[in-house]
Structure 1
Amino acid sequence: MESRIAAVADLANAAGVDDEAILRIANRLQHHCVLELLYQEVLLDVLPHDGREKLVVQHDLEIARHVVGYLVRAERGQVSVEPLPWSQDLSRAGADEADVRIHQDLSAFAGMLRAVFGPDSVSGLAQVADTLASGDRGTGVPWGELFAERARRNADLAGLALRFGSDKWGARWYARQYDRFFRPYRDRPVRILEIGIGGFQEADRGGASLEMWKRYFPRALVFGIDIEDKRFLETQRLRTFRGNQADPEFLSKVLEETGELDIVIDDGSHFNSDQIKSFEFLFPRLAADGLYVIEDMETSYWPGFGGSSTEFSSPSTGVGYLKDMVDGMNYEAMTSDATYRRRPTDRTVVGIHFFHSMAIVEKGINEDGGLGAMIPDEVKRQGPRYLMPDYPVPPEFESAQDAANAATTPPKKPATNGTKTVTRPLPTAADEPGVGATSSK
């Protein structure tokens, strides 16, 4: 079978189409392999909460008037599948150990696959619970309650953070912002990359956030980058890479494996230069409607991480770098003589959200045109008085506007009349007809 993570991605994508599409994928991958992937997801977190270490399911598929049986064994978080010998007797010799027996035609099988890997996978767990309960042979497992509890636990991001020990709740309070921005992506087959897995050099530690994301996004492929080897965390929807987040060659190889990413979360070294380098490489390659998150941005003010507590807008810090993008988002509104230096993100950043120690950047098409692009330079410089000379403006603005007009308007030559010299200054808002001209005799 092709790589497990690629197989799950194919199932998730096909499950969002129709039964025919997902059955084509199932035939290509072979049914026993698909059953393994299916039950790995179905029984995720269920058995430990029921206190059972082992469960055996006999799953029969009716294919072209024949019945093909499989024995699915789930034990200590691992799932294995073996074909049963063909027999007219559906009880099947060798299947007496089965705790649950399920018999499905291909239409029902496709429905179960779509319930687990499809866009309604959160609510689809209830359908799976009913299927298992209908084939239960007296195990006493409260399938409905277990799957309802699983759905409830996985819907609460703060609870998931606490459950797996992620610092995104409690020490950081990031979970409520993540839930606000990530919830629209929950039922999509997204690809998520988190930079920084945690656990430092300890071989069996880290990955709390990756486990959290895997459950919060039931159709997602989750990837992690760390400078240490964290392969012990890998499962069929989770993969890790070892390397430097600021190395474009390494990041390029990662993207070859992950494909286009929908969400990137930088919780890596927290060095400002690394944050900027990772953003400049990954953001242009992010999905068109993707999200890019940078955590722990307090290091923008810490000299030991390349930050500064005196140069608050320095583009060499993470916060200062993003501050520059605020102007870039509004490039279409600038006057033609603007001194702003254009950057590639001007046309692709549609939102920047700052929170305590964290920022979320939204990707999209920032070429709306709109009012800012259509207004002539003269109006932008002179304001409403360009069209309505008597338009009331604040006094402090009026003096500043007079100075700006004087700087951009060529001075008039004095008018001469015999021995008299008459100077007529530009009118101001306080001027009335016939008032404000002075003469020297």
Structure 2
Amino acid sequence: MAAIGDLTNAAGVDDEATLRIANRLQHHYVLELLYQEVLLDVLPYDGREKLVVQHDLEIARHVVGYLVRAERDTVTVEPLPWSQDLSRAAAADADVRIHQDLPAFAGMLRAVFGPAACADPAQVADILAAGDRGTGLPWGELFAQRSRHNADLAGLALRFGSDKWGARWYARQYQRFFAAYRDRPVRILEIGIGGFQEADRGGASLEMWKRYFPRALVFGIDIEDKRFLETQRLRTFRGNQADPEFLATVLEETGELDIVIDDGSHFCSDQIRSFEYLFPRLAEDGLYVIEDMETSYWPGFGGSSSDFSNPATGVGYLKQMVDGLNYEALVSDTTYRRRPTDRSVVGIHFFHSMAIIEKGVNEDGGLGAMIPDEVKRQGPRYLMPDYPVPPEFESAPDAAGVSTNPSKKPANSGSKTPTGPLPAAADKPGADATSGK
């Protein structure tokens, strides 16, 4: 999948970079990648078994031609002899004939593999329609499904039979969080492909992701062999989601991931082990999703319907991270011990049966980190002794046993601004040997 990744990245730069990669990969191979992407969805419509495109490239006053044959789930490319006849006739069995110079070829590649700012993939329909030799195929209608303006995940879920719409209603949350990634060359891993032990079933969600993210490389993990699903932007791996050695081999193939979706075994222990291995290796602005978290309440999956904060359950494990979002605001003598995720989790979103964790750099500092401990303990009365507070705060001690309403004013109470040094970096809340990424 390295070649398709290189082409996708180059298409996001400019025409020159795109042609440079196309030359390195060889034009016949690039045409195979191109038509794998644009033709295989066309064949099921109209009930035809194959489609042949003659694609001529004009290079230095010569024509280099190729016959592209799309049949069922494969695309093959056959080189034609070079010619100095720039208007040579099309091959007899060509259903579509396209003639382009290199700048136009770069534009077509960028329309399919580049960002939306280059062109919409649906515009390729105009190119194919112009070269149509009587197929009668409704190119505009067929390519409308590939349009980047078609961002309806629920519709894609229905089309491919994914359970992320319907009983679970995940699609609307995915729409909200994934929209910003849609036009990027992201790498997505879904744990759990579906179909159980049936060798020819599963993969609905992987196909949905492949269509929703037109520039993405999509990967799937399952305990069963699902290689029948593989196409040029979709790869599967067979193994145990809780095995770190297996996950390491997966990452060697995928590279750094941008999005991970855990729809695997749903056992709480597996959810936690997968997260602990994959999240630290996720891209800095990545998303980690855990589905079907209702198993946190089911004893048969390691959950509990009475101990809701048990860290051995998926939900209980994530609850521990909530306080870590604000570790910089804690008083310096807190007993809280930093977790490895404190500095890398910047958001945790809980929904019905699912959670989405945002990765980033959680070192914003801000007001909470700047305020001295005395102010945090005593509240507004540190500055204004007569400031009205709720009755329960009149003499209630905080967790450290210090009264929030001392009987005498602090030594510097005559000043309207707290004085004295702020806590040193070494005294930051919860600092210990385990802190950091």
Normalising by structure 1, report the TM-score.
0.88
1:46 aligned to 2:27? no
- 1:392 positional shift: 1.0
- 1:354 positional shift: 0.1
Q: Which runs of 5+ in 2 are unaligned?
A: 410-437
- 1:64 positional shift: 2.2
Helix, strand or coil: the match of 1:199?
coil
C-alpha offsets along residues 223-269 of structure 1, whole Å, 9 cap, x if unaligned?
Answer: 00011110000000000000111111110010000000000000001
Q: Which aligned pairs between 1:17-416 and structure 2 lie closer than 5 A?
A: 17-89=13-85, 95-120=91-116, 124-151=120-147, 155-400=151-396, 403-404=397-398, 407-408=401-402
Q: Which amino acid aligns with 2:407?
A: L
Q: Which amino acid aligns with 2:331?
A: T
Helix, strand or coil: the match of 1:346?
coil
Paired with 2:122 and 2:159, the residues of 1 have a C-alpha distance of 23
Paired with 1:60 and 1:94, the residues of 2 have a C-alpha distance of 9
Q: Which amino acid aligns with 1:349?
A: V
Matched-pair contact (CA < 8 Å) for 1:300–1:319: yes
Matched-pair contact (CA < 8 Å) for 2:146–2:211: no
Q: Which amino acid aligns with 2:10?
A: A
- 1:156 positional shift: 1.4
Paired with 2:150 and 2:6, the residues of 1 have a C-alpha distance of 23
Paired with 2:398 and 2:365, the residues of 1 have a C-alpha distance of 27
Segment drifting more, 231-240 vs 116-125: 116-125
Paired with 2:59 and 2:385, the residues of 1 have a C-alpha distance of 82
Residue of structure 2 equivalent to 1:422: none
- 1:408 positional shift: 3.2
Helix, strand or coil: the match of 2:147?
helix
Paired with 1:129 and 1:94, the residues of 2 have a C-alpha distance of 19
- 1:398 positional shift: 2.0
> Which structure has the larger Rg over C-alpha atoms?
1
- 1:404 positional shift: 4.4
Paired with 2:361 and 2:76, the residues of 1 have a C-alpha distance of 46
Bigger share in helix: 1
Helix, strand or coil: the match of 1:182?
helix
Q: Which runs of 5+ in 1 are unaligned?
A: 410-424, 429-441
Paired with 1:214 and 1:157, the residues of 2 have a C-alpha distance of 11
Which of 384, 407, 432 does residue 426 from structure 1 map onto? 407
Paired with 2:148 and 2:125, the residues of 1 have a C-alpha distance of 14
- 1:94 positional shift: 7.8
- 1:281 positional shift: 0.5
Q: Which amino acid aligns with 2:377?
A: R
Helix, strand or coil: the match of 1:228?
coil
Over the matched positions of the two proteins, sequence identity in percent amounts to 86
Residue of structure 2 equivalent to 1:7: 3
| Cα distance change of structure 1 residues 199 and 64 upon mapping to structure 2, 3 Å threshold | same
Helix, strand or coil: the match of 1:194?
strand
C-alpha offsets along residues 339-380 of structure 1, whole Å, 9 cap, x if unaligned?
Answer: 112111100100000000000000011000100000000000
Matched-pair contact (CA < 8 Å) for 1:122–1:151: no
Matched-pair contact (CA < 8 Å) for 2:61–2:84: no
Paired with 1:404 and 1:66, the residues of 2 have a C-alpha distance of 83
Paired with 2:244 and 2:278, the residues of 1 have a C-alpha distance of 9
Matched-pair contact (CA < 8 Å) for 1:228–1:243: yes
CA RMSD of aligned residues (A): 2.0
Paired with 1:162 and 1:351, the residues of 2 have a C-alpha distance of 30
- 1:126 positional shift: 3.1
Residue of structure 1 equivalent to 2:421: none
- 1:99 positional shift: 1.3
Residue of structure 1 equivalent to 2:424: none
Paired with 1:405 and 1:94, the residues of 2 have a C-alpha distance of 83
Segment drifting more, 33-42 vs 89-98: 89-98
Segment drifting more, 274-283 vs 37-46: 37-46
Matched-pair contact (CA < 8 Å) for 1:261–1:286: yes
Q: Which amino acid aligns with 1:42?
A: V
Paired with 1:189 and 1:152, the residues of 2 have a C-alpha distance of 14
- 1:154 positional shift: 5.2
C-alpha offsets along residues 66-87 of structure 1, whole Å, 9 cap, x if unaligned?
Answer: 2100001112132111001223
Segment drifting more, 338-347 vs 250-259: 338-347
Helix, strand or coil: the match of 1:74?
strand
C-alpha offsets along residues 313-343 of structure 1, whole Å, 9 cap, x if unaligned?
Answer: 1111110111110001100000011111211
Normalising by structure 2, report the TM-score.
0.89
Q: Which amino acid aligns with 1:274?
A: D
Q: How many residues align?
A: 407
